[in-house]
Amino acid sequence: MKHNILLAFSFAKRDFKERYVGMGFGQLWFILHPIIMIAIYSIIFSELMKLKGNISGNPYTYSVYVVPGIIAWTAFSTVLNRLYNIFSARAGYIKKINLPAYTYQLSVAITEFFVLSISLCLGMIFL
């Protein structure tokens, strides 16, 4: 079991490296995506829609509520979507290597947890 968990970590590391390999900015997208998402939602909800929290007169107080919720929802939906497609995406590995199914699922969860922690750190810096 320990070997399978270590293998899941190596799958997660490989997945993290390969995810944006064909893109222009490469792995910089792990940092750019949350920053762009936070900026867009903050501008849309705070400036254009004029939504304000009841905390103070600052126009960006609503972002304090929106940013953590959007980050958490994005992580949750990404994990579910990737877990749904993991067996078809890893069909080549599954046919060649005899491993328990949870190894592939755990690797997706580890990767998305790392992406979530990056997003939350950037969100905390923003807030």
Instruction: Give me 113's structure tokens.
Output: 């947890």
Task: Using CB atoms within 10 Å of the CB of residue 103, give its burial: 0 to 12 exposed, 13 to 18 middle, 19+ buried.
Answer: buried
pTM of structure: 0.77
Instruction: Give me 119's structure tokens.
Output: 């997003």
CA 27 – CA 55 distance, rounded (Å):
37
Answer positive or negative: Cα dihedral of 21, 26, 31, 37: negative
> Which residue type does 29 have?
W
Contact 53, 64 (CB under 8 A): yes
Per-10-residue mean pLDDT, the chain, length 127: 86 82 74 84 73 62 80 91 87 82 88 90 84
pLDDT at 113: 92
pLDDT at 76: 93
Instruction: Give me 68's structure tokens.
Output: 């953590």
Contact 110, 9 (CB under 8 A): yes
Contact 120, 127 (CB under 8 A): no
pLDDT at 81: 93
pLDDT at 53: 56
pLDDT at 110: 92
CA 42 – CA 19 distance, rounded (Å):
27
